[in-house]
Amino acid sequence: MDPQNLTHVSEFHLMSLSDDPDLQPVLFGMFMSMYLVTVLGNLLIILAVSSDSHLHTPMYFFLSNLSLADICFTSTTVPKMIVNIQTQSRAISYVGCLTQMSFYLIFACMDDMLLTVMAYDRFVAICHPLRYPVIMNPRLCGFLVLVSFFISLFESQLHNLIALQFTTFKDVEISNFFCDPSQVLSLSCSHSFTNNLVMYFVGAIYGFLPLLGILFSYYKIVSSILRIPSSGGKYKAFSTCGSHLAVVCLFYATAIGVYLGSVVSHSSRKGAVASVMYTVVTPMLNPFIYSLRNRDIKSTLKRLLSRIV
C-alpha cells in the first residue's frame, strides 16, 4: 500500500493465530478456558489474602497487587482476541488500538515493578530480619505500590504521546493478535530518530533497571543465606523466596524468549504464537506457583473452599 493512502487510519487489522476455520472453535475454547482460569486463580489469591488476617503481611500485600495486575494485564489482550475469533473479525479501531497499547504497557510495567518490589521485600526479610517490621511498614508498602503504578502510567503515556505523532502508516496489518507497541511503531512511515531513541531508551530503562534491582537483591540474599551455618536454616530462608524466584524466572524467560524469537524467526505468526506465552500463559501460571509452593496460601484456600462446599 502507498503510505499517502493511509494518512488517516481509522482501524488496524490484527493477526489471527490460525486461518483454518476448523481450528477456530478449538482456539476459542482454549483461550476462553485459559482466561477464566487466570482470572479465577488470581481472584482466589486476592480473596485469600484479604480474608485471612495471618496473610496481612507485606509479602502477601504485594502478591495480591501482583495478582490484580495480572488480571488487568491479560484482560487487555485476551478478551479482544476471543471476540475476534468468535466474530471472525480482525479489525480494531485506531483509538481502540492506542487504548489497548496504553493499558498493555501500564500493566506489563506494573508486573515488572511489583516483582522488583517483592525482591526488595525478600531482601529485607532475609538480610535484616530484626528490622523487617520497622522497615516494611504499611506506609512504605503502600508508597511502593503507588510509585510502581505511577512509573508504569508515565511510561505508558510517554509511548502514547510518541505514537500519536505518527500520521502515516505503511500498512494496517499488525503482525500480532494485539496492538504490540513495537509492531505499531514498525508500521509508521515517520522515521523520527528522536522518537525511536526515546521509546527504545525508555523501554531499556524500564526493562533493565528492575531486572538489575532483582539481581542485586538476590545477590545479597544468596550471600546472607550462605553465611547461615545449618543446612536446615539455609533451606528455610531460601524457601521464603522460592515462589517469587520462580515467577521472576518465568516472567523474564518468556519475555526474553518472545523478543529473541521475533529477532531470529522471520515468521510473524510464530512470533504471535510466542507472545501467547508472555501475555496469557504466564499470568495463568502465577497463582499456581504461589498456591502450590506456599503452605499459608494453600491452607487459606482450603478453608475458603470448605466454607463454599
Residue 293 confidence class, pLDDT cut points 50, 70, 90: low
Closest CA to 214 of 106, 123, 109: 123
Query: How confident is the model over 89-117, as pLDDT tens digits?
Result: 888 888 888 899 899 999 999 999 999 99
Calculate the average pLDDT of the chain.
Answer: 83
223-243 average pLDDT score: 80
Share of the chain above pLDDT 90, in %: 30
Q: Which one of 1.10.357.10, 1.20.1070.10, 3.40.1390.10, 1.10.472.10 gives the CATH number of domain 10-308?
A: 1.20.1070.10
For every residue of 181-241, DSSP letters joined together read HHHHHHHBS---HHHHHHHHHHHHHHHHHHHHHHHHHHHHHHHHHHT-SSHHHHHHHHHTT
Distance CA 273, CA 278 (A): 10
Query: How confident is the model over 14-41, as pLDDT tens digits?
Result: 888 777 788 888 989 999 999 999 999 9
pLDDT at residue 37, rounded to an integer? 94
Contact 65, 34 (CB under 8 A): no
46-73 average pLDDT score: 91
Query: How confident is the model over 269-281, as pLDDT tens digits?
Result: 666 777 888 888 8
Q: Residue 251: exposed, middle, or buried by beta-carbon count in 10 A (0-12, 13-18, 19+)? A: buried
Domain ranges across the chain: 10-308
pLDDT at residue 72, rounded to an integer? 95
127-151 average pLDDT score: 93
Distance CA 34, CA 13 (A): 24
C-alpha Rg value of the chain to the nearest Å: 21
Distance CA 40, CA 192 (A): 43
| Cell (9 digits) for 142 | 503502600
Query: How confident is the model over 279-292, as pLDDT tens digits?
Result: 888 899 888 888 77
- DSSP, collapsed to helix, strand or coil, labels residue 173 as strand
pLDDT at residue 3, rounded to an integer? 44
| Neighbour order of strands in the sheet with 91-93 | 91-93, 11-14, 173-174
Share of the chain above pLDDT 70, in %: 86
Query: How confident is the model over 153-175, as pLDDT tens digits?
Result: 988 888 888 777 776 777 788 88
